[in-house]
Amino acid sequence: MKNKAWLTQYPEGIASEIEIPNKTLPDILHETTIHYPTNNALSFFGRKMTYQELLGTSNRFAAALQNNDVKKGDRVAIMLPNCPQYVIAYYGALSMGGIVTQINPMLVARELEYILQDSEAETIVVMDAFYQTVKAVQSTTNLKNIIVVSLQPSGAEFGDDWTFERFISETVMPVEPVVIDPSHDVAVLQYTGGTTGRSKGAMLTHRNLVANIYQTKEFYKQIVDKGNERYLTVIPLFHVFGMTACMNNCILMASENILLPRFDLEEVLQTIKQEKPTIFPGVPTMYVAINAHPKAKEYGIDSIKISNSGSAPMPMELMKEYESKTDSKILEGYGLSEASPVTHCNPDFGVRKPGTVGIAFPSTDCKIVDVATGAEEVPVGELGELIVKGPQIMKGYWNMPEETAVALRDGWLYTGDIARIDEDGYLTIVDRKKDLIIASGYNIYPRDVEEVLYEHPSVQEAVVIGVPDEYRGETVKAILVLKANESATDKEIIEYCKNNMASYRVPTIVEFRDELPKTNVGKILRRALREEVKTK
């Protein structure tokens, strides 16, 4: 936007441009520990860990990695739900110069195998429930070190592989110092879907991730009190939003991170009642569930003063109802894995415009350009592709120079999202990147689901679209053409999918047709199928 109207929204005292310190994420943990050693860093079902304890345990994990031949630049995969071991392993791996490879524990063997092969990770930290999935693919990957986390004594045997406790207790040597260049060295591989159906590892450097939490700190400085906040973290830490908005932000702000491994409504409400969180980053489906609970107010949900909503659009009616119950503000924002992730948010210090994702973060530039060329900026209020620039933008895609060249041009990240900016600089996302489906905050790429469906012996053609869903925001619908003389039921297809992909990707609706709409060159018209849903 030529006049950058969003800059006029910034009040005196909140900078629209900030200096990003030349630090790593472990530097920030170390500094917070110096100033707030006895503050609670983590809370997990009533068990607390101070910053002093977190730093000490993370350092032991880092030393144990070094003791097991893990070197700077090696990839350390983490396949855990939210738990203290996640934070320990993440910061421990970064402290010795490792690159964290984030893995969704819900992935099935074939999906896990691809990420491990692509990242060439030799070490993985995994929850005991998913241990057999890892063992199933070990022989076709580079895995050497498997470290198993058990939250409760199970009596399970893990052969020659490590338990988390044994891994960190058998090393007494201190961490061997490693020089990390924040601007150059990659901290995290954040996997996201690709246009070809292959997942891409967004390379996020220490500077990218540090920049995004300092941008957040500046943006919220009038309402977030360093050393005195309690974050309720139900968003998965393997998700880029959870990693930054919860884990890394908490550590910069010396806050207490209340971890829950999954969204269970009763568990969440009981935790709110006992722990009294002040900040609750979430996705709309979480707020829908809390809203719908008839006795939500009795759990003391008015302790929450800020609810950051991301990953999916937030319905306006839901926003109003939730705010009236909690006395908090829902600040809806926008981001993507390639941007660490936040680029925009509705400000607490100015006008909030429901339906928009707010204004650009400090030190973030954005433009709406014409979709055809990607070069010409379009007038205010007109639709085009959103492109963004800032210190939080990724280094590129891991081992994918061609994909990187498409996404990053002259320092601008081409998001693929169709959007408009109004005269005040507020951004509205109109259509999402390519054919992305967002269900309960999870990104689902139709190609990933379709490839599995095409492997079913009865399926001739398959197309997957997102359809509106009151609870999940969207849900997955599969539209199939069966081979001649073949038969299948919707239940059979759904069961087949459950056995071959992560549960959040499984279609909940299956429709059978004699033919699918196509272009004159035979390409399936996904857009036409989506339009059918809109007109019903």
* Contact predicate 433/363, CB 8 Å: no
Does residue 522 register a pLDDT over 80? no
Q: Is 324 exposed, middle or buried (0-12, 13-18, 19+ CB in 10 A)?
A: exposed
Does residue 197 register a pLDDT over 70? no
Q: What is the distance between the alpha carbons of residues 119 and 323, in angstroms, rounded to a whole number?
A: 42
Domains and CATH numbers, the chain: 25-179 (3.40.50.980), 439-535 (3.30.300.30)
Token pair listed for 80: 């855990």
Helix/strand/coil for 339: helix
Partners of residue 464 on adjacent β-strands? 478
* pLDDT confidence of residue 198: 75
* pLDDT confidence of residue 494: 97
What mean pLDDT do residues 423-442 have?
84
- Taking the whole predicted model, whether its pTM rises above 0.85 is answered as yes
Of 37 and 174, more confident: 37
* Contact predicate 304/230, CB 8 Å: no
pLDDT band at 291 (very low <50, low <70, confident <90, very high): confident
Q: What is the distance between the alpha carbons of residues 102 and 294, in angstroms, rounded to a whole number?
A: 37
* pLDDT confidence of residue 156: 83
* pLDDT confidence of residue 25: 98
pLDDT (tens digit per residue) in 102-121: 999 989 999 999 999 999 99
pLDDT band at 336 (very low <50, low <70, confident <90, very high): very high
pLDDT band at 465 (very low <50, low <70, confident <90, very high): very high
Using the structure block, give the residue that is written with the tokens 């990770």.
Answer: 121
Using the structure block, give the residue that is written with the tokens 């933008």.
Answer: 393
* pLDDT confidence of residue 281: 94
Q: What is the phi/psi pair of residue 413, to 5°?
A: -95, 120
Q: What is the distance between the alpha carbons of residues 536 and 528, in angstroms, rounded to a whole number?
A: 13
Does residue 534 register a pLDDT over 80? no
- Taking CA atoms, 131 is separated from 82, 93, 125, 135, 505, in Å, by 16, 20, 9, 6, 21
* Contact predicate 114/502, CB 8 Å: no
> Around Cβ 494, how many Cβ atoms within 10 Å?
15
pLDDT band at 433 (very low <50, low <70, confident <90, very high): low
Partners of residue 49 on adjacent β-strands? 42
DSSP 413: E
As a whole number of Å, the end-to-end CA separation of the chain is 36
Token pair listed for 134: 């890892």
Q: What is the distance between the alpha carbons of residues 204 and 534, in angstroms, rounded to a whole number?
A: 37
pLDDT (tens digit per residue) in 15-66: 999 999 999 999 999 999 999 999 999 999 999 999 999 999 999 999 999 9
Using the structure block, give the residue that is written with the tokens 């004159």.
Answer: 520
* pLDDT confidence of residue 521: 44
Kindly report the length of the chain. 536
* pLDDT confidence of residue 292: 80
pLDDT band at 325 (very low <50, low <70, confident <90, very high): confident
Does residue 193 register a pLDDT over 90? no
pLDDT (tens digit per residue) in 210-252: 999 999 999 999 999 999 999 999 999 999 999 999 999 999 9
Q: Which residues contact 503 (CB under 8 A, 6 or more apart)?
A: 106
